[in-house]
A and B are shown apart, each in its own frame.
Chain A
């Protein structure tokens, strides 16, 4: 919301004024460090559709975007791969080798449930070092596919493990599991595509 030159409220007002001519509606989510009473109302009054406070959690942002533009994040009916990983980067890494890609995906499908189970076990045992190690391994695994949201979700747990601050662990593990699931759904679609 607070930016140099023109703030987010003014920018929103300008966009909305323009849209009154075009009839379109671009969803706008306020990202702000302001968390005072009335700030949210001011943003919504300026024509914004959502409101998130910083520090921002990627999962909150994704949820907010999904709420406003369901089609943008939902699986595309055309079979196009969703935004959970960098498809071009991945295909470049395997130099278009479909067999290798299939093997990598299969390996990942074996490793990820194992690591998630390990992570859950360590979390339940309040084993911070174990949480850090399992989250680190998982972050590496999803990182190979350029799966950024899953990687960030794993990083959150890795840092919690390093700092021995596991209070929020259960919720963050749910975030991670959700991201891994979304990513695996995209892998399914990629598999169908490249198998053709």
Chain B
């Protein structure tokens, strides 16, 4: 399975990528909105873990673009955030995200969530 992790938090991306690779996942990492869109278009991930607080265009815009493009609209998006906006979860689920994880994200939680989404064993 292939996942795109899009987050400017390099500590978190390393933490998540290491765990997912150890579970046999292929992992692409993007650190800004442009990279995220590029990888989503070109690398054809099975699922995307998207932070919505990145520089260079907000993750909300990335999410909208992903859901507007025929090439990416089918890819499930898990939104990751520690936004202080109170209605952020409702907003992103309304925009087509399939799950919402609040930061700090535990790698086990992320692995379980992605596996469940793709019908993979999560152990």
In the complex, the 10 A-B pairs of residues with the closest C-beta atoms, listed nearest first: A143-B104, A140-B9, A144-B11, A107-B11, A107-B10, A100-B18, A144-B104, A144-B12, A104-B11, A108-B11
Interface: B103 (CB within 8 A): yes
Tally of contacts, chain A with chain B, CB under 8 A: 54
A49 to B115, CA, bound (A): 53
Residues of A near B55 (CB, < 8 A) are: 133
Contact A104 B15 (CB under 8 A): yes
Q: Separation in Å of the A6 CB from the closest CB of chain B?
A: 35
Given the complex, which residues of A lie within 8 Å of B15, measured CB to CB? 93-94, 100, 104, 144
Query: Nearest CB to that of B53 among chain A residues?
Result: A136
Residues of A within 8 A of B (CB): 92-95, 97, 100, 103-104, 107-108, 111, 133, 136-137, 139-141, 143-146, 155, 158-159, 162
Chain B residues near A136: list those with CB within 8 A.
53, 82-84
The contact sample of 27 A-B pairs, CB cut-off 8 A, is: A93-B15, A93-B107, A94-B18, A95-B107, A97-B18, A100-B14, A100-B15, A100-B18, A103-B14, A104-B14, A104-B15, A107-B10, A111-B11, A133-B53, A136-B83, A136-B84, A137-B9, A137-B53, A139-B82, A140-B9, A140-B82, A140-B103, A141-B11, A144-B9, A144-B11, A144-B104, A159-B84
Instruction: Give the dominant DSSP class at A's interface.
Output: helix
**Within the assembled complex, what's the spacing in Å between the Cα atoms of A14 and B53?**
50
Give chain A nearest CB distance to B27 CB in angstroms.
14
Instruction: Check: B73 CB closer than 8 A to any chain A CB.
Output: no
Q: Interface residues of B, CB < 8 Å — how many?
A: 18
B9 to A, closest residue via Cβ: A140
Q: Which B residues, 24 to 70, have Cβ-Cβ distances below 8 Å to chain A?
A: 53, 55
Which residues of A have CB within 8 Å of B82? Answer: 136, 139-140, 143
Q: A93-B107, A97-B18, A104-B15 are in contact. Are A141 and B84 (CB under 8 A)?
A: no
Closest Cβ neighbor of A111 among chain B residues: B10
**Residue in A closest to B51 when the chains form the complex, CB atoms:** A140
